[in-house]
Homo-oligomer: A and B are copies of this chain.
């Protein structure tokens, strides 16, 4: 695959507004800095018109809703739509509770997303498929991920990315599978949250008609970074993987993405 957007991020250093959770906030900020973007992490209702207006993308992550985050997310999402910056939705654990389902329904109804990114269980839930999620982890089920990605993409007029052993990205018309990554990713917390933020950075530097390509590159770049890192570690080096991923993102190059990337159309 061809890498176009990584270099643009490094040149343009886009500001990415994250409304995220208390588990992932630090890692998302560090990961965005590593990839070459700038993070701003506000979830304050009072700031949801000004912060998106300063930013080049907005990432909404429902991982831990403790205050008025849901209200902030709706307001920020609408502001971002008005301004025209891309909005990413990470529906963390949407299958776990009716509250999360309701928040996601409302967000999907009132905000136009450039990307919906989650694991198999989260996207199966959004697609209305039968799935046994496990809290915020992917869980098990038999649904076909390519069909689910396509279905959700068409329903919400958004790019959809499903992370897993094989990543699936679809815009409803084109669908690709990305055969990169490592089993280390699900062993650390916030690896999905950070990917959503990284996707935000790639979308921030892409034209609207290239959002699909930008997401494919983002997911491939991220999976390649993890894959290269895992080659050097043992399968129980969870802590080293967590920290080392930041180094890999910072040292990632067009060459590595193009050399390692294994992407095919389905």
The residues of A with any CB-CB pair to B shorter than 8 Å are 15, 17, 21-27, 29-30, 33-34, 38-44, 46-47, 50-51, 54-55, 63-69, 93, 96-100, 134-137, 186-190, 234, 236-240, 242-247, 249-251
Q: Which of B34, B67, B135, B240 contacts A15, CB < 8 Å?
A: B135
Docked-complex contact B38 and A134, CB < 8 angstroms: yes
Can you name the residue of chain B whose Cβ is closest to the Cβ of A17?
A: B135
* Cα separation A67 to B71 with both chains bound (whole Å): 13
* Cα separation A245 to B55 with both chains bound (whole Å): 30
* Cα separation A25 to B42 with both chains bound (whole Å): 15
Q: How far is the CB of A195 from chain B (nearest CB, A)?
A: 16
Interface centre among A21, A22, A64, A244 (most CB of B within 10 A): A22
Q: Which of B51, B97, B188 contacts A51, CB < 8 Å?
A: B97
Docked-complex contact A50 and B251, CB < 8 angstroms: no
* Cα separation A194 to B54 with both chains bound (whole Å): 25
Docked-complex contact A38 and B137, CB < 8 angstroms: yes
Q: Which residues of B contact A136 (CB under 8 A)?
A: 38-41
Q: Which of B15, B26, B187, B251 contacts A27, CB < 8 Å?
A: B26
* Cα separation A251 to B238 with both chains bound (whole Å): 9
* Cα separation A77 to B44 with both chains bound (whole Å): 21
Q: Which residues of B contact A245 (CB under 8 A)?
A: 239
